[in-house]
Amino acid sequence: MGLSWFSNPQDHTAAAQASGRLAPGSLAAAHEPDADAQGPSWQDMVRQLGEEVATSLNTASEQLTRLNRLEPGLVRSLAPIQDAVERARQAGMAAQHVLRLCEDPPPQRREVLNLADVAHAALTARSDWLRRRRIDVRKGFSAAPVFADSSLLYQLIDELLLWVGQLGADIAVSVESSQSTGRPRLQVVSQRAPATAPPAVWRGVRWVLWHQLARTLDAQTELDLKDQHVRISVSLPAATPEQISRAAEEQVEPSSVSAGIAGCRVLIVSGNAQRRAQCLQALAGYGLIIDSAEDTHQARQQALQRLPDAVVYDASVAPRDVGLLRAQLLDSAGTPAAFIEIHERAGSADFHASTVGAESTGHVSAAALGQALGPALVFELCRVL
């Protein structure tokens, strides 16, 4: 059976009512203007619940990580509990994300992107998550230029991977241009019979989130349920020849000096998925191995497994946490890592460096991220390597 989502508002509403499943459009309709003014709105409840759940489970996850360092054998036996804590934490964060998309959608900066490149970046960032869950991913990519916001597109693909990862350990991800419509199309397939999937998969907040992201991007999405597999197709607006030509004229190639940092590992730490996607795009072509983390808790966990040569972070990371991460990396590696801060201060240079004692930090303006982050990283890495 094939279900087309968000093709038009009338069909979307009818499908949501017929299926009984949660859909983003039904969220907005649930809040009536003439509701009791004294009672909390659903938005307030979602916001508060999301914050409380995420905050409490962040603490629980950090305690399990600390315990893992002291008693690794004990924590391995608690792996199901740790996974449950992480799923609940992610659900709380996803609920907050849905609320932001419904209440205050972010301004979109549409540009020419190769859909295959964005899908590859999302799979790379989720490689550890997929490996820990023993999920095998088969890939088939062909060039498919789209005109879309890079951060929202990255988030959509990432959320699709997280959602379909709940279904089974055998998935396929492909990118191509549809022969019938000519639109670039992403397909994600899980080799699992839909009838055997847990009901929560179809009614969970992550289901709502990836649909809302698709709607925000004006994507056409289709859910195809067969006896032995689930297939999701996402079609996006294709880039026009004029848009592709303009993008080629504006593209800045990495300097030949960047060859000196090829193979270095860079850790991007930001609570903003849009910012992480922008960094991935800005550093494409430098030959770097890039990891990403949503907060310093995840960053410290990743650093214990693979020491980064450089860390890129923004204002979502507290200065105290940056200092702790810097000290941890110095203790583990014996040599300092390069640190680059992304800031939003108006009127400052695209890039400048500062030194406090023996600690050096590069500072890149968020407004010039695409042009300045790569050269700044070359500069800072050459200082420490």
Q: What CATH number is associated with residue 359? A: 3.40.50.2300
Mark whether 338 and 371 lie in a shared domain.
yes
In the structure encoding, which two tokens stand for residue 57, read together?
């489970």
Q: Taking a C-beta distance cutoff of 8 angstroms, is the pair 343, 315 a contact?
A: yes
Identify which of 294, 257, 272 has the alpha carbon closest to the alpha carbon of residue 377: 257
Query: What per-residue confidence (pLDDT) applies to 348?
Result: 76
Model pLDDT, residue 76 = 63
Q: Residue 209 is part of a domain; what is its CATH number?
A: 3.30.565.10
348: tokens are: 């400052």
Do residues 120 and 218 both lie within one domain?
Answer: yes
Order of all β-strands in the sheet with 136-141: 2-5, 220-225, 230-235, 184-190, 170-177, 136-141
Within a domain: 352:
yes
> Where among 206, 241, 276 does a domain terminate?
241
Helix (H) or strand (E) holding 340: strand 338-343
pLDDT at residue number 346: 79
Give residue 43's pLDDT: 67
Number of folded domains in the chain?
3
Residues near 306 by beta carbon (within 8 Å), at least 6 away in sequence: 265, 291
Q: Block means of pLDDT (10 residues each) for the chain, length 385 residues?
A: 38 37 39 48 67 71 70 66 72 76 82 86 78 88 88 87 87 87 90 85 83 91 89 91 80 57 89 82 82 87 87 93 91 90 85 81 89 87 80
Q: Which pLDDT value is given to residue 128?
A: 73
- 231 and 122 together in one domain: yes
State the CB neighbour count (10 A cutoff) for residue 384.
13
Query: Which of these three, 241, 266, 294, is where a domain ends?
Result: 241
- The last residue of one of the domains, among 202, 217, 241, is 241
Residues in the chain: 385
* 270 and 323 in a common domain: yes
113 and 96, same domain (yes or no): no
**pLDDT score at 75:** 57
Do 297 and 258 sit in the same domain of this protein?
yes
Strands in 158-217 per DSSP E? 170-177, 184-190
CA–CA gap between residue 156 and residue 234 (Å, rounded) = 10
HSE value, Cβ hemisphere, 13 Å, CA-based, for 42: 14
CB 25 within 8 A of CB 12: yes
- Residue 32 is predicted with a pLDDT of 43
Q: Are strands 220-225 and 2-5 parallel, antiparallel or unpaired?
A: antiparallel
Residue 75 Cα distances to 58, 82, 155, 299, 302, angstroms: 17, 8, 31, 19, 17
- Tell me what pLDDT residue 312 has: 96
Extract the tokens encoding 319. 């200065």
The single residue listed with the structure tokens 């019938």 is 180
The residue among 139, 132, 155 whose CA lies nearest residue 189 is 139
- Can you give the pLDDT at residue 364? 93
Residues in CB range of 70: below 8 A, 6 or more apart: none
Distance linking the first and last C-alpha atoms of the chain: 56
Neighbours of 40 (CB within 10 A): 11
Considering the domain boundaries, does residue 202 fall inside one?
Answer: yes
* CA 337 to each of CA 266, 303, 319: distance values in angstroms, whole numbers, following the listed order: 10, 11, 16
Please provide residue 47's backbone torsions phi and psi, each rounded to the nearest 5 degrees: -60, -50
Structural domain that includes position 88: 40-104
CB 232 within 8 A of CB 223: yes
